[in-house]
Structure 1
Amino acid sequence: MESTNGRNLALLVLCLCACYALAFEGGKEIPATKFGQSVAPTMTFLYCYSCGYRKAFEDYVNILGEKYPQIQIHGANYDPPGMNYYLSKLIFALKIIIIVSVVTSVSPFTCLGLNTPGWWNHLQGNKIYACMMIFFLGNMIEGQLISSGAFEITLNDVPVWSKIQTGRFPAPEVLFQIIDNQLQFTDNVQENPDFVK
């Protein structure tokens, strides 16, 4: 009786972990319009975090903050289009479910009325090794699914650079020229006179 209650509790925990992992993010807020407002320009960087582009983003933030102190700069992870994002969430949920099953010694095969395979018994016998391998293998697959190579730049919600389309990062001088061209009629942004080129 107690083992049945323990299994039911473990299955409940597994289901809650899976639901949490697959939970979708809330709807995006609609930004307020900027007409008639004296608002500083906003530059947004969407980059591939799993590709290691966060350092490049921080370098651009430092360079742009030095030359254009009035521009507000935001950065976020670029979610890959299509099913890759959802597949990575599914892999994450399966990884958590398998690790919790191994740690709690709950066999999903017996819960489904199937014979337990030998490899599952091997996982149960080597829990630490099995959990580490499941974790790292799951992370590797997730990384491959969400790796987009993106470094997308928008200025006031207008796309100004796409690494996906060009295949490269913009040189700082090119980005300065793009900003100057986009903001040539704006009085809010002025170049820092102390900026060293």
Structure 2
Amino acid sequence: MAAVVRWRRRSLEACSTGGRRAALRALACALPLAAFAGRADAGTAQVETAVKAAYLYRLLSYVDWPPAVLEGGGPFGIGVAHADDVLEELQRVLPGRTVHGRPVLVRRLTEGDALDGLHVVLVGGSVRRAAGWMRELRERPMLLTVTDAPRGLETGSVLNFVETQGKVRFEASLGAAEKAGLKLSSRLLAVAVRVETKE
């Protein structure tokens, strides 16, 4: 298991320093994690978890953050609610990783928790659960919200994980991104399976 963790960390580091090559190749840097996990006899759920965690980290580099975020200093924060498997994976692979020269931290979220210091929030589970969280989250500026449910974008999230042909991908909402004061990179949008345009 220790060898698996070390390999994942090396893969994630290579992805984070690989420059801004073609969008699909860059974002798909997450996929070798899944391939290795499969060779290590990991179940499908573990493979999906590894890919989602890697995507969450990589997404930080594909958002045009407002100056207030980039000049604010301090670490980038990822909050995770109702997705303990993804949380644990992030806790394993994030130590030592940086985005825009700043460390990346992750923490578990429960209802009523403060959102200070967070830039990305993943809400796992059903669309009903996601909708409950999104009522609060979508009112918070400069927060990239990610759901993991069928019809997740309908809750107001910016991104939503979906499974397509056995692979974890994502869909995006330009309207939700605009409301959050965020601009998604064209490289990110180029590899989304679906992009909802602004109304």
TM-score range, shorter chain: under 0.3
Q: TM-score, normalization: structure 1? A: 0.24
Higher relative contact order (CA 8 A, sep 6+): 1
More strand by share: 2
Give the greater-gyration-radius structure (CA).
Answer: 1
More helix by share: 1
Q: TM-score, normalization: structure 2? A: 0.24
